[in-house]
Structure 1
Amino acid sequence: MTAGVLAVLAILFVMFAGFWTDWLWYRSVQYSSVFTKTLWTKVGMFAVFGLLMAVAVGVNIWIAHRLRPPLSAMSLEQQSLDRYRMSIAPYKKWVLLGVTALVGLIAGASAAGQWRTWLLWVNSVPFGKTDPQFGKDISFYAFDLPWYRFLLSFGFAAVVLSLLAAALVHYLYGGLRLTTPGARATAQATGHLSVLLGFFVALKAVAYWLDRYGLAVKSGDFKATDNWTGLKFVDANAYLPAKTILFCIAIICAVLFFATIWRRTWQLPVIGFGLMVLSAILIGGLYPAIVQKFQVQPNEQAKETPYIKKNIKATRDAYGIDASEVKDYSGTSKAGKQQLRDAADTTASTRLLDPNVVSPTFQQKQQVRGYYQFPAVLDVDRYKTKDGREQDTVVGLREINTDGIPEKNWINEHFKYTHGFGMVAAKGTTVDKDGAPAFSEKDLPPKGDKGDYQGRVYYGEKTNQYSIVGGPQKELDYADDEGEKTYTYKGKSGVNLSNPINRAAYAVNFNEPQILYSGAIGEGSRILYNRTPKDRVEAVAPWLTIDGDPYPAVVNGRIKWIVDAYTTSDNYPYSSRTTLGDTTEDSLTDGQRAVVARQNRVNYIRNSVKATVDAYSGQVQMYQWDKKDPVLKTWMKAFPGTVKPKSAIGNDLMDHLRYPQDLFKVQRELLTRYHVTSPSQFYSGSERWQIPDDPTHKGNAVPPYYLSLQMPDEKKQTFSLTTTFNPNKRETLGAFMAIDADPRSSGYGKIKMLRLPSNTTVSGPSQVQSKFNSDPNIAESLNLLKRGDSEIEYGNLLTVPLEGGLLYVEPVYVRGAGTNYPRMRKVLVTYGERIAFEDTLGQALDKVFDAEGDTGTGEQPEEPPASSDASVQEALKNVQDAYDDGQEALEKGDWKAYGKAQDDLKDAIKDAQDAESKAEKRAKKE
């Protein structure tokens, strides 16, 4: 008995520990209102719907028991069940309570999971826009319809469970017979079960009525696009009237079932139910198929045009791409080379430092100690130089890495090595003479142009485990030539462990008994956990979808993590759906960085909130960014005081905000189809684009790049987010897209696309990379760089619209055999057919735009160097021929021929190198 009591108490304390630690954490971040509102909403939903389900089932069991026939009237079949009735008889009340409690608990737990649906419904704010079919405000579909569907599903569950329970009781006590000849049910059982069936059919009528509106948010297959949402011709002209007819039939059928209370026969309701089933097959299934076959298919484009138009408009509105501009762009230039060379310096601040490549260089040069680390993909931000100019900057925080602790034990991992230290920043457009980043902020303690700031990083992307700070145990701050410096946390973050109940709760929650009795915990000790920016914002705003790439910035003397957050919905009528996890995946994302959405499939998204997390104190601040978003307004009404107004964003923070990458990737995926507004073009797919593969990471979409850029119709550079498109199933360039990513700009969020002619021969990213790899002179230079087991790494291939043409720039890094980090050694620049591969960007631009031999087109191909040796000349000719064959095959999309040409090119280059080597030997002998 004692052991049993102790076991129950232990289970209760484990449950209490989870609840208590959650409450303490929310209180520590000053968002206790989120915890209490969420908790009481779940408790209320659990209690109300659990009680409703228990009452519904319990009352019907009680009614069925009350309507049982007298024992004398029982058949032999029912008398054989006497032993079951006798065994239940002494415990009838307990059985009733047990069954109702069980179904109530299950129903309540299921209903508690719908707390978001309830809060959206009860706090709903109108969109101010109506759907084109029914004229209802969008809020009906986004907020009301999901709640009505939940109520409907709950009603069906209650009726079905009540029907099953009542039928079982009637059978057990003789009201129903299965094998005995004659009447199968008593009049009382017939009336009771008929009423329940009437409720079921009445709910089916409600379902038919709601299905009419559900057609506006229904997904389906359609030739014109994947993930079609909304009504098509067959929906509006066959399914919609069919649902209305079925609704009326279901109402009549329900009335017939209810009438059985007086008629005491199932003849009419069974006929009515059969009619409803037959109507569902003929009207709801066969008739739409006939309409599709004989009305739509013979002239599908004409029939579907009005609905395609509605889908295009709704999708562009829902994803914020309705104001995007598409302009024609020739892709070739008639400007002179000197004009092009001058424009190359002013059109873009070409970023040579690739944040995906140089993380190992940051790690090697600025890690300082093995217990620090940088993220695998660094971030791009803007900082002002000493002369006041804005500089694209690659940044990363030096975070703690517990795997690098010299001696791992519980004290070292959780008490001593608690935080990282300092931001490291490098100029994005230049490197030092050794090809390494030109650091503008570096070393420990931090030195550079960021001034004095709180550099300790207690909260970061890589900080995944708990730490206990502020107590008697000193922390390692940093180490220098004079030895280790210690520190004691002075912030108010975390939960105080002075209270023994708190210590016991966290000992249970983290499965670490030492928390309960360790002498390293004392007065002032605080436990820090949930330490990644994404986890903290997601916890205080569980109704937001968090961007996969938080980034750090020095703001008002503090390191702040800036987190973009989205409000989403999957019930925007006529707007096509997309899967966030797939859409935001590219060659730079991984399992941690890729956005993980609560609602993975969405058809409405807004970057409605900008949030910050203080790297020292862990304080979370959320700001209203999109003041028009009705979804955000609804959540702000549900959780008042959690989101600050946009006016509360200070100038220093505003300088570092930017347009988020994940939203941009969602929009560019939609724009591959929805950049056209003509239904006929949309239907034919003739103007469809595709996102190109990253030429250096085959099989993965090319990522968007932040770049300070001057678009053709602009007068100055703007911090932008850029990407390219290929025509569908082609490798040439189809379009260039840029969005103003600077929130201080009046054009922030404006999407501009430059569409190239459909017959363009302008190379796309893959073709540029292929051209680069197959150039014999560049191949020879690369072979020289690879000597001594060195490795080549390609940086981001940047695309810049320049005077009517397209300029491509790609840095090339070399990872030497004696080092484990890359240095930038070369820069590839190509414009038209001209290619340069030089040590610096300036030299490469000079070579590409050399004014000598200027024809005014800027398009002169570069000739291979001449040689007097006949065998060398022949070998070089074979290289050029193989290259030309490859380009011709690439243009035609003949990948088999292209592969053969690439093999021939490799052989030709090798033959040319051998011929040149032999020629040099002959020359020496002579």
Structure 2
Amino acid sequence: MAAIFLVRLVAGAWTQWAWFDSVGFVGVLRTQWITQGVLFVIGALLTGGAVWTSLAVAHRARPVIVPESDDELVMERYRGAFEPIRRRVWMAVPALVGFFGGATAASQWKLALLWLNRVPFGTKDAHFNKDIGFFVFTVPWLSFLVGLLTMVLMLALLAALLAHYLYGGLNFRGAGGGAHSRSPRTSAAARVHLCVLAAALLLVRAGSFWLSRYESTTAAGSRITGVTYTVDHAIIPTRGVLALAALCCAAMFIATIVTGTWRVPLVGVAMMTAVAVLVGQVYPAFVQRFQVKPSEASKETPYIKDAMAATMRAYGLGDIDRRSYSATTDASGGQLRGDTATMRGIRLLDPTVVGATFQQLQGRVNYYRFPSSLDVDRYTTNGEKRDTVVAVRGLNLAGVPASQRNWVNDHTVYTHGYGVVAADGGKLTSEGAPVFVEKDMPTSGVLGKYEPRIYFGEDMPGFSIVGGQGARELDHPDASGEQKRTRYAGKGGVALSNPMSRLAYAVTYGDKNILLSDAVSDGSRIIDNRDPSERVKAVAPWLTTDGDVYPSVVDGRVQWIVDGYTTSDNYPGAAKSNLSGATSDSTTATSRNVRALRDGQVNYIRNSVKATVDAYSGEVKLYAWEPNDPMLKAWTKAFGGSVKPMSQMSADLVSHVRYPSDLFKVQRTVLETYHQNDASEFFNASDQWQVPDDPTAGENAKGQPQPPYYLTLAMPGQKAPSYSLTSTYIPVGSRQNLTGYLSVDSDAGSEAGKKASSYGRVRLLEMPGSTSVTGPAQFQNDLDSTTRTSADGSVPLTQFLSQARQSGSTVARGNLLTLPVGGGFLYVEPIYVQARGATSYPLQRAVVVGFGNKLAWAPTLEAALDDLFAGDSGADGAPQPSQDDANSGKDSGKDSTTKPSTSSNATLDKALKDLQKAYDDGQAAMKKGDWKAYGEAQQRLQKALDSATSAAPSGSVTAK
């Protein structure tokens, strides 16, 4: 067993070193191993050495005892029986506790590196007036040392007690050994030994009491984290008293060496315990009850102000742009004309719904698949930068026929995904399908020429063996349907030409085929650890990575962009956030590729690193995105050369960088409470907010918070629309009206090595208490219960949804977008319908919009907005009926469909007949739930409308 363990250990170390060497980060592994090794040795020597020393001293100082009683005779027999195995026990026990002590010390290698490479924050805390770096870097390290020394001394003291008792240096029955003996008896050597250990332990505890004064700055309270009135006036001073008491007790134990009596130190320990209870618990409770409670608001106000300021700094919210927004709830004609650019950029495609649509329309082969949740990026289409829904075709071994599943195929034939597929976020076909701007195999579209093969990505198999002799790997079918093959020509992974490497990987993976298969030949390379986030965490173990990585075509390569965070839970005075809770939402509950963070509590976070992982070569690059972050400075000192300066980022890469969603989720959670500026308001908790539950979530995500959405919009006060990440707030409690709207500028610009000055600007719109603005859940309730007919007056929305479900189709609500436009808030929700059948997929069949208390819906966004705002959709090129006609049709509740006027022109007459026929066919198809026929009718309707418009004498069709 020992030999097997050793072989596995060596093989694991070999493959780990080879992997780090292949990505160019072997220095990171070396630093980590050296640090862990040094700490292990120190911890093992301290723990094991202290226990061994105690045992050895007790044995050497054992008294010569002539048994005078039955008890002493029994103990002498025990000593005789133990003596043959004493040496082995004396070695085994210290070795065992030393191993655990060393492992405990080695596990804290990050604390050690941070302390050794600490840098000042340049900001001081509000209570002790010390640099923040002291609390972030030094206090945690000192706390660990105090804890380690406490463990070491307690184990040494316990070993000493047992050994001295065994060899007679300590006799609990006292002089004479009778049952009524007066007190414990110790030899002089045992007394010295035990007193020195006890005094050392008390000295360490004194240090612990003193250190806890600084630790109180990050202790969680009922309202705030850190120092409160009671902590300031009762707890911090008493910790100093307890430290002094521990020093006095240590002196009493040293005095016992001379006096020979245990009475004084034992009384001292009892008194210290009483003092700890009195001044450590009773006195603070007294201060809280009789000094703070009667005037709590005024007593706590200065401490609340300090905590609010510290929290906003720690979460990067110090420069938040706040403004009151008295949102109007009246929708009128012309209201959106000032927001034309924003309206034109509304993203209709929901990346969490259309994955199945991408799969059916662009999957092409079963061994490629798209993730369940797609991503939103920006690409230039027809000279305009557009929000674009993107995904890569990943490898799907489950799609390979069972008859073709074997080791060779799984690991050497089906090895990679292929190509990026992108769709315009704001455009749809007449059937409600995405308008793809990058598609097919081979790839074609607006992204230009790039390397399409995806060897590294999300949800990839464990390992593949690529390269070698011949073109073995399946690529994609050509125009005739014949499968093309390829051979990996990159430098990713580890070369298997060395037999020792093959043996090491065979042992590591427990797979003998790596060693024996003829599919592994000269030139073969093994690629593993293929998830982009995991690769970044491996080369930068000090980073917390965002749960949503996304692919972008950058400089002719598919690059996975990964956001990395430096975090701490030791920022004095800042509120603590649970990362898992703050980053969980309806998307993380249902998507396999979007994950909530799992790294516990933090009260400081920075998006300090932007990382890229090349989808073809697996190359990892780290860029210092927040170069002034003190924690990043400390880590870059520890791992010199592992992080590149921002100046090395290309313009193309910068243009695809976005504000990370998990950081935004943490910040929006903090602002639920800390949006309150006034300390008295904060104290009374009179204006607490919460992120609303996602009203469009399915059964698997009910009760989960609404996720933030990437949108291009112009916030009030912004001159032009900006790519942003947005979220909403409602009050805590049963009310569901909108109270706040949060956004952050997410466009980093397009200048090489530099981010735009507006990037990261957090903007908060606060609704005055006098206004009542519809919230997301209220809009959804109106949507689900409205009898409002579609823009053409044909069918109520509830009937439309009911007919779709009755026909066997599935109705899916798309993301509910909220946009501050027209002086108020506009809600936009696409409705998807998926027909029955294994090969069916969601198609967008309607768009519901709301403003204030008004709601409208239609097959297209433009038509719905025209109905809602009396002909003012705000989108260039959209139909713009006159305000009177639109209002007339809406108010009468009758069919407001455009009816063409008669004409003697034969072409116009035919076009008008075709227009009416297409319209009637479309309405009939909608009532039957026949969406294919409906889409065809819409296409004929558009052609007829174009023909009629061209043939009309005035160049337009007049509505009646």
Structure 1 residue 761: Cα displacement: 2.1
Alignment match, 1:711 = 715
Structure 1 residue 479: Cα displacement: 1.5
Structure 1 residue 336: Cα displacement: 4.8
Aligned 8 A contact 2:330 2:852 in 1? no
Per-residue deviation, residues 834-889 of structure 1 (Å, max 9, x unmatched): 22111111111111111699999x9999658379xxxxxxxxxxxxxxxxxxxxxx
Q: Rate the CA distance shift 1:784–1:9 in 2: closer, same or farther, 3 A.
A: closer
Alignment equivalent of 2:781, drawn from 770, 780, 792: 770
Structure 1 residue 161: Cα displacement: 0.8
Alignment equivalent of 2:846, drawn from 826, 832, 839: 826
Alignment match, 1:889 = none
Per-residue deviation, residues 33-89 of structure 1 (Å, max 9, x unmatched): 011110111111111121122221111212112221112276542321222222332
Structure 1 residue 110: Cα displacement: 1.2
RMSD: 2.1
Per-residue deviation, residues 557-587 of structure 1 (Å, max 9, x unmatched): 1000000010000000010111101100111
* Pair 1:753 & 2:781 matched: no
Aligned 8 A contact 2:458 2:532 in 1? yes
Per-residue deviation, residues 750-799 of structure 1 (Å, max 9, x unmatched): 11111112232211000001111111122123233334211211111111
* Pair 1:647 & 2:638 matched: no
Alignment equivalent of 2:744, drawn from 736, 739, 743: 739
Alignment match, 1:269 = 265
* Pair 1:56 & 2:57 matched: no
Alignment of 1:537-576 (within 5 A): 537-576=536-575
Alignment match, 1:797 = 816
Per-residue deviation, residues 193-224 of structure 1 (Å, max 9, x unmatched): 122111121111111100111110112323xx
Aligned 8 A contact 2:657 2:747 in 1? yes
Q: Distance in 2 between matches of 1:74 and 1:370?
A: 88
Q: Rate the CA distance shift 1:261–1:377 in 2: closer, same or farther, 3 A.
A: same
Structure 1 residue 454: Cα displacement: 0.2
Give, as a single letter, the amino acid of the residue that structure 2 aligns with 1:538: K
Q: Rate the CA distance shift 1:384–1:854 in 2: closer, same or farther, 3 A.
A: closer
Q: Rate the CA distance shift 1:67–1:124 in 2: closer, same or farther, 3 A.
A: same
Alignment match, 2:65 = 71
Aligned 8 A contact 1:833 1:859 in 2? no
Structure 1 residue 682: Cα displacement: 0.8
Alignment match, 2:610 = 610
SS of the residue corresponding to residue 667 of structure 1 reads: helix
Aligned 8 A contact 1:397 1:423 in 2? yes
Alignment match, 2:508 = 509
Normalised to the residue count of structure 1, the TM-score between the two structures is 0.90
Aligned 8 A contact 1:611 1:623 in 2? yes
Q: Rate the CA distance shift 1:616–1:825 in 2: closer, same or farther, 3 A.
A: same
SS of the residue corresponding to residue 162 of structure 1 reads: helix
Per-residue deviation, residues 480-522 of structure 1 (Å, max 9, x unmatched): 3241111111011111112111111111111111111111111
Structure 1 residue 190: Cα displacement: 2.3
Give, as a single letter, the amino acid of the residue that structure 2 aligns with 1:751: V
Alignment of 1:425-436 (within 5 A): 425-436=422-433
Normalised to the residue count of structure 2, the TM-score between the two structures is 0.86
Alignment match, 2:153 = 159
Give, as a single letter, the amino acid of the residue that structure 1 aligns with 2:635: W
Structure 1 residue 675: Cα displacement: 1.0
Alignment match, 1:914 = none
Structure 1 residue 265: Cα displacement: 0.8
Q: Distance in 1 between matches of 2:335 and 2:206?
A: 72
340-349 vs 458-467, which moves further: 340-349
Per-residue deviation, residues 368-397 of structure 1 (Å, max 9, x unmatched): 0010010100000000113x2101100000
Give, as a single letter, the amino acid of the residue that structure 2 aligns with 1:557: G
* Pair 1:356 & 2:352 matched: yes
Give, as a single letter, the amino acid of the residue that structure 1 aligns with 2:451: Q
Alignment match, 1:169 = 163
Alignment match, 1:918 = none
755-764 vs 525-534, which moves further: 755-764
Alignment match, 1:728 = 732
Alignment equivalent of 2:476, drawn from 475, 478, 489: 478
Aligned 8 A contact 1:546 1:595 in 2? no
Per-residue deviation, residues 305-358 of structure 1 (Å, max 9, x unmatched): 111111101110000111112211111067851243563554561100110110
Aligned 8 A contact 1:217 1:572 in 2? yes
Per-residue deviation, residues 205-251 of structure 1 (Å, max 9, x unmatched): 111100111110112323xxxxx310111111111111111111111
Q: Distance in 2 between matches of 1:824 and 1:564?
A: 32
Alignment match, 1:42 = 36
Alignment match, 1:907 = none
Alignment match, 2:933 = none
Per-residue deviation, residues 539-564 of structure 1 (Å, max 9, x unmatched): 00000001001100001110000000
Aligned 8 A contact 2:372 2:592 in 1? no
Alignment match, 1:244 = 240
SS of the residue corresponding to residue 35 of structure 1 reads: helix
Aligned 8 A contact 2:322 2:766 in 1? yes
Q: Rate the CA distance shift 1:547–1:132 in 2: closer, same or farther, 3 A.
A: same
Aligned 8 A contact 2:580 2:598 in 1? no
Give, as a single letter, the amino acid of the residue that structure 2 aligns with 1:85: R
Q: Distance in 2 between matches of 1:369 and 1:247?
A: 71
Give, as a single letter, the amino acid of the residue that structure 2 aligns with 1:437: P
Alignment match, 2:388 = 393
Q: Distance in 1 between matches of 2:800 and 2:439?
A: 33
Per-residue deviation, residues 663-690 of structure 1 (Å, max 9, x unmatched): 0000001011111221111111122111
Alignment match, 2:98 = 104
Alignment match, 2:664 = 664
Q: Distance in 2 between matches of 1:673 and 1:324?
A: 15
Structure 1 residue 530: Cα displacement: 0.1
Per-residue deviation, residues 149-173 of structure 1 (Å, max 9, x unmatched): 1111111111111111111111111
Alignment of 1:888-899 (within 5 A): none
Alignment match, 1:302 = 298
Give, as a single letter, the amino acid of the residue that structure 2 aligns with 1:790: S
SS of the residue corresponding to residue 277 of structure 1 reads: helix
Aligned 8 A contact 2:373 2:593 in 1? no
Aligned 8 A contact 1:77 1:177 in 2? no
Q: Distance in 2 between matches of 1:333 and 1:28?
A: 60
Structure 1 residue 832: Cα displacement: 1.8
Q: Distance in 1 between matches of 2:22 and 2:515?
A: 20
Alignment match, 1:838 = 858
Q: Distance in 2 between matches of 1:324 and 1:95?
A: 64
Structure 1 residue 132: Cα displacement: 0.7
Alignment of 1:520-531 (within 5 A): 520-531=519-530
Q: Distance in 2 between matches of 1:741 and 1:288?
A: 47
Q: Distance in 1 between matches of 2:596 and 2:102?
A: 28
Identity of aligned residues (%): 45
Alignment of 1:252-651 (within 5 A): 252-332=248-328, 336-341=332-337, 343-344=339-340, 346=342, 349-386=345-382, 388-406=383-401, 407-472=404-469, 474-480=472-478, 481-590=480-589, 592-593=592-593, 595=595, 597=597, 599-651=599-651
Aligned 8 A contact 2:774 2:853 in 1? no
Q: Distance in 2 between matches of 1:596 and 1:693?
A: 16
449-458 vs 211-220, which moves further: 211-220
Give, as a single letter, the amino acid of the residue that structure 2 aligns with 1:636: T
> Gapped runs of 5+ residues in structure 2?
750-755, 788-795, 873-880, 896-960
Alignment match, 1:202 = 203
Give, as a single letter, the amino acid of the residue that structure 2 aligns with 1:267: R
Q: Distance in 1 between matches of 2:235 and 2:592?
A: 43
